[in-house]
């Protein structure tokens, strides 16, 4: 339960049809403090007593602007979208595998899209009570934590996302003194994004989406304004940028 928020809490989840996003919607639906969950996806998700679906496209700013009009005032925004691979690209094992096409595609989803969500949704947060704007990032987006190299476009896009969220935290803090902005590392979650790379992951380190969402909601609930603009893992540990 989100005990640090003032009820009723109006939530919005981007990427609600994905593994972690759907888990967020499910967990929030069972929280009595949550009055409504605006669930955004490329195709509409199922309607329920609390869930209000909307469609959007991260590569189409107008769809995000339209979503902001549809959603209106909101207390909690969670961006659970992301791209690591698809049928046309795979994470680079070497600098020799880099391509402009991969950078453009991955940055559009992992950095530019969330930035545009912030552009249209940060002003919807209340000025007079607690609110949180959070996005799923990744430990591999930490520059100081990088010991392996590789995954060039994905690492760079998540590092860019972390900087974007830090910028949001600085600017939002001037007008919304109780707001928190956070980057979140969900761990290795058993979804389509991580599936090709699970071979060397220990069984106890591969999380079900529901487990990851539960832990991340606990992290969100415990964050203070002094922690705004930072990256946190699923267990609440801060990950240096």
CATH number at 219 reads 3.40.50.720
* Average of per-residue pLDDT values in the chain: 93
Higher pLDDT, 195 or 20: 20
Residue 1 lies in a domain: no
Positive or negative: CA dihedral 230, 234, 236, 241: negative
Residue 46 lies in a domain: yes
Say what the pLDDT of residue 178 is: 97
Residue 115 lies in a domain: yes
pLDDT exceeds cutoff 90 at 183: yes
pLDDT exceeds cutoff 90 at 190: no
Residue 34 lies in a domain: yes
Residue 2 lies in a domain: no
- How many whole angstroms separate alpha carbon 145 and alpha carbon 167? 21
Say what the pLDDT of residue 151 is: 94
Residue 4 lies in a domain: no
pLDDT exceeds cutoff 70 at 137: yes
Residue 222 lies in a domain: yes
Q: Which helix (H) or strand (E) holds 41?
A: strand 34-41
Please give the DSSP secondary-structure letter assigned to residue 89. B
Range(s) of the domain holding residue 86: 9-239
**Token reading at 42:** 């490329």
Tracing tokens 């240096």 back to the chain, one arrives at 240
| Total domains in the fold of the chain | 1
pTM: 0.94
Residue 79 lies in a domain: yes
Banded model confidence at residue 194, pLDDT cuts 50, 70, 90: low
Give the tens place of pLDDT for each residue, 54-110.
999 999 999 999 999 999 999 999 999 999 988 888 999 999 999 999 999 999 999
pLDDT exceeds cutoff 80 at 44: no
- Whole-angstrom CA distances from 199 to 66, 86, 234 are 41, 18, 21
Say what the pLDDT of residue 143 is: 93
pLDDT exceeds cutoff 70 at 201: no
Instruction: Give the mean model confidence (pLDDT) for residues 165-169.
Output: 98
Higher pLDDT, 113 or 45: 113
Give the tens place of pLDDT for each residue, 28-40.
999 999 999 999 9
Say what the pLDDT of residue 189 is: 79
């Amino acid at each position: 339960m989100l005990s640090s928020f003032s009820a009723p809490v109006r939530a919005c989840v981007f990427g609600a049809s994905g593994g972690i996003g759907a888990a967020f919607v499910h967990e929030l639906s069972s929280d009595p403090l949550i009055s409504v969950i605006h669930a955004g996806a490329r195709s509409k998700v199922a309607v329920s007593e609390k869930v209000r679906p909307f469609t959007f496209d991260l590569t189409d700013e107008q769809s995000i602007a339209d979503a902001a009009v549809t959603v209106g005032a909101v207390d909690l925004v969670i961006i659970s979208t992301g791209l690591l691979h698809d049928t046309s690209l795979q994470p680079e094992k070497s600098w020799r595998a880099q391509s402009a096409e991969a950078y453009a595609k991955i940055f559009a989803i992992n950095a530019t899209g969330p930035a545009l969500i912030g552009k249209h949704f940060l002003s919807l947060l209340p000025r007079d009570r607690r609110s949180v704007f959070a996005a799923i990032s990744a430990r591999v987006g930490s520059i100081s934590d990088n010991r392996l190299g590789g995954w060039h476009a994905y690492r760079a896009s998540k590092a860019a996302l972390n900087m974007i969220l830090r910028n949001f935290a600085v600017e939002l803090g001037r007008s919304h003194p109780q707001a928190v902005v956070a980057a979140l590392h969900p761990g290795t979650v058993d979804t389509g994004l991580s599936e090709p790379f699970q071979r060397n992951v220990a069984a106890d380190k591969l999380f079900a989406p529901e487990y990851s969402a539960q832990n991340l909601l606990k992290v969100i609930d415990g964050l203070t304004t002094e922690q705004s603009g930072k990256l946190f893992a699923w267990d609440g540990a801060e990950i240096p940028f």
